[in-house]
Each structure stands twice: as structure tokens, then as C-alpha cells.
Amino acid sequence: MTLQTDFPLTTLNTLQLPALAAHYLYVDDCALLPKLPPHQRRFILGGGSNLVLLGDFDGLVLHVGFKGKRLAFEDADAWYVEAAGGENWHDFVLWALAQGWPGLENLVLIPGTVGAAPVQNIGAYGLEAGERIHQVRAIDLETGSEKIFSPTDCRFGYRQSLWKQEGWHLSGRSLITAVTFRLPKQWQANCRYADLAAELEKRGISQPTPQQIADAIITLRQRKLPDPAILPNAGSFFENPIVDALTAEKLAAAHPGLPCYRQADGKVKLAAGWLIEQVGWKGRQLGKMGIYEKQALILVNYGNGKSQDICALVTAVQSDVRRQFGVDLRPEPVFIGSVTN
Ligand code: NAP
């Protein structure tokens, strides 16, 4: 671990926005974390796939590099599989499947690291990471002490967690070193998303194995989502808005075809991508940034885009959706740094 100064972050964020970190440390040894200088502005960087760099960052970027994955233990009902925070998420899911420990296959090909999964409570195709998390291990960088969080401690919600609710994803207070997943031995296929069911049917599969589900989702995602290495992007850029049942009813009456998904608490999730498409932004560009032609949730950098371009595009999309539907769209990624001209 060597502290570096004025470190370029361009290749460390999947939107490829240019920015410098005043200080940068690649962290692959937990033992040194408690010895970090206190009171410094910090940001904890994983895969950089859910990040908008508005400009240079004047603090310390801690780039999580811990590696390792293992079966921690098993009981009659489940395997408990632990992975270090710096492991690549997709590789970890494939590795667990290959060991014969299914349960994460619906989350295949999500970019980013294992340590970022609980922060965002990543989700796709009807599964959220929080449903499989047994415990999260983290170091509190204010006190230097290690903490172990149970699923209840983690306060998981829709793309929500303790880390986001406490603002630790911005303040860099809590660095996740490892996550243990509980993967039930009584595996059940989760194919309730229409696109997934259709893809499996197309393949003539009625009783899919975990690997077949993973393969189908990889195909779906590759068909719809741009590869950040070819077209820089930060995955889903807007959260699906959750509204109360009455608002959803009124909106559905006024806008036939509006996709509405009722939540356990009675509220209703709307599809942000559908709203963006309806206001005409799918496939449109503003400056060097634009909304991807095959997926209206993805904001892409068509080359040398700057933070100002992103801010202008986000504001334009949000105001058009607000004007037509009265719904506020919230960006999903974390914004750090200050805008530079
Ligand atoms: P889609 O199937 O066109 O559906 C649009 C939206 O409706 C999705 O965002 C999804 O919400 C919701 N939805 C669809 N079927 C649902 C069901 N049966 N029950 C509850 N909600 C349902 O979505 P898509 O854009 O092609 O994305 C497919 C999956 O990949 C989604 O789960 C999405 O979250 C995920 N995805 C992830 C990323 C990423 O970067 N992490 C990027 C794009 C898409 P949810 O988003 O809550 O699932």
C-alpha cells in the first residue's frame, strides 16, 4: 500500500470521466486500515461502476483491493460463502455456481465489486443481494474497529442500506472488507420477470438449472446493456420511482401501458426507463452524453463527455419526466467531487 498524489481516476470509473484524486491508496491489507490518518475527506472506491465524478476529489480515495473467496461453513439448510470486498461481483457469482452453490444467478453480470453489493443492495430479475446476505464485515475508519453487521443491521430496502441511509457511502466512514452470503440448499428457480421467462422458453427450457438461468440473463443483459469497456456508462442511471397506490392508479388511468409493480408495503414501483422513453429521450444525445438507444435507463458517454454534460442531461430528463408525469426521477449513482469548467 503506497499513498499516491494527484492520481488519475479516469480508468477507474466506468463512465470514464476525467478527474484526479488528491490522494489515492490501493488497499489490499486490512491490518493497515486502522492506522490511516483521521479527519481526512475520504471516498471508498470499488469497481467505479456506480459513480459520477463531477471533478477532482480533494481527499483520499481508498480503492478496495481485498481478494479471496471461500466456503465459510455449512449447515443442513445452507452454504455460507464469504468473499472479500474487492472481488469482482460477476466472477464471484460464476465461481459460486461452479462450486455447486447457487442462489445468486439472477444477479449475474452486474458490474462492480462484492463490497459494493450491500451498499447499493444491488438487484436484478427479481432478486436483491440483501435477500442472500448473512453478514457484512467492515472497518469503521473513524474508530479503527471492526464491525459485523447482520441483515437486520444492514437495513436493506429497494437499492437502500445502512451505508446509504447513514451517508457512509459519501463520507467513506465504513469500509466493507468481506461479505458472507447464505445460499439455501433447497434451491428454487426465480423466473418471474417476463423477459427471463421468455428467453428460457425460447431455449426450450421449462425447468431451468441455476446455470441455465445465469446463461439466459447474461444473454439478456448483453443484448440490452452497453459494455462499459466499449461505451462508457454507469449501469442504471435512475432509480425506479416508488409512488403511493392512489398516485399510481391516477397515472395508469392517464397513461395506458404504464408498467406498475405493487410492493409488499402497498406502494407501487414504476419503470423509470418507460417514463424516459415516453418523453422521447431514449437514443437522444445532449453534447457528448446521451441516453442509450436500446435501454432508456442507461446514460452513456459518447467520448470525452464532461461532468457538465451529465448534469445538463440529467436535469433535462428529470424535468421532462416531471412535466409529463409529475414524477421525480432520482439518479442511482453516487456523485463526488465538484464541477470544474
Ligand atoms: P424490464 O424487464 O424492461 O423491466 C423494467 C422495470 O420494471 C425494471 O426496472 C424492473 O424493476 C421492473 N420489473 C420488470 N418486471 C418486474 C416484475 N415481474 N416484478 C417487479 N418489477 C419488475 O427491465 P430491464 O431494464 O430489461 O432490466 C431487467 C433487470 O435488470 C431489472 O431487474 C433491472 O433492475 C436490471 N438492470 C440492472 C442494471 C444495473 O446496472 N444493475 C442495469 C439495467 C437493468 P427492477 O429494476 O426493480 O428489477
Query: How far is Cα 299 from Cα 289, in angstroms, rounded to an integer?
Result: 7
Q: Which atom of ligand 1 lies nearest, measured to the CA of 123?
A: 34
**135: three-class secondary structure by DSSP:** strand
CA of 45 to the centre of ligand 1 (A): 25
Q: Look at ligand 1, atom 16, and give the residue with the nearest C-alpha.
A: 193
Q: Look at ligand 1, atom 9, and give the residue with the nearest C-alpha.
A: 271
Q: What residue has cell string 446493456?
A: 225
Our mutation pick for probing the ligand 1 site, out of 240, 243, 291, counting the most ligand atoms within 8 A of Cβ, is 240
CA of 243 to the centre of ligand 1 (A): 17
Question: Cell numbers at residue 220, please?
Answer: 439478456
Could you write out the DSSP letters of every residue in 37-105? -TT--EEEESSSTTEEE-S-EEEEEEEE----EEEEEE-SSEEEEEEETTSBHHHHHHHHHHHT--S-G
Query: How far is Cα 81 from Cα 182, in angstroms, rounded to an integer?
Result: 7
Our mutation pick for probing the ligand 1 site, out of 193, 239, 263, 334, counting the most ligand atoms within 8 A of Cβ, is 193
Our mutation pick for probing the ligand 1 site, out of 106, 237, 297, 300, counting the most ligand atoms within 8 A of Cβ, is 297
Our mutation pick for probing the ligand 1 site, out of 236, 275, 278, counting the most ligand atoms within 8 A of Cβ, is 236
Backbone angles phi, psi at 52, to 5 degrees: -120, 115
Q: Which atom of ligand 1 lies nearest, measured to the CA of 110?
A: 41
- Which ranges of the chain does DSSP label H, i.e. alpha helix? 89-99, 117-120, 151-154, 162-165, 168-171, 194-202, 210-224, 245-254, 272-278, 307-325
Q: Which is catalytic among the residues 161, 174, 236, 307?
A: 236
Question: Cell numbers at residue 176, please?
Answer: 466493507
Q: How many CB atoms lie within 10 A of CB 316?
A: 15
Q: Which residues of the chain have pLDDT under 70?
A: 1, 38-39, 339-341
Query: How far is Cα 7 from Cα 21, in angstroms, rounded to an integer?
Result: 5
CA of 32 to the centre of ligand 1 (A): 39
146 noted as active-site residue: no
Measuring CA to CA, which residue among 235, 175, 142, 139 is closest to residue 44? 175
Query: How far is Cα 151 from Cα 131, in angstroms, rounded to an integer?
Result: 8
Determine whether domain 69-184 maps to CATH 3.50.50.60.
Answer: no
Domain boundaries, the chain: 4-64, 69-184, 233-336
Q: Which is catalytic among the residues 137, 159, 173, 221?
A: 159
- Give the pLDDT score at 299: 96
Q: Which atom of ligand 1 lies nearest, measured to the CA of 195?
A: 2
CA of 124 to the centre of ligand 1 (A): 6
CA of 314 to the centre of ligand 1 (A): 20
Q: Which atom of ligand 1 lies nearest, measured to the CA of 193?
A: 18
CA of 158 to the centre of ligand 1 (A): 12
- Give the pLDDT score at 39: 64
Q: What residue has cell string 439478456?
A: 220
Ligand 1 contacts (CB < 6 A) are 110, 122-126, 192-193, 195, 224-225, 235-236, 240, 259, 261, 271, 273, 295, 297
Determine whether domain 4-64 maps to CATH 3.30.43.10.
Answer: yes
Contact 297, 276 (CB under 8 A): yes
- Give the pLDDT score at 40: 74
Q: Is 105 exposed, middle or buried (0-12, 13-18, 19+ CB in 10 A)?
A: buried
Contact 149, 138 (CB under 8 A): yes
105 noted as active-site residue: no
239 noted as active-site residue: no
- Give the pLDDT score at 281: 98
The CA-based dihedral angle spanning residues 55, 279, 194, 95, taken in that order and rounded to the nearest 10 degrees: -10
CATH number for the region 233-336 comes to 3.90.78.10
- Give the pLDDT score at 118: 98
Residue 159 zone, left/alpha/beta (φ > 0; ψ -120 to 50; rest): left
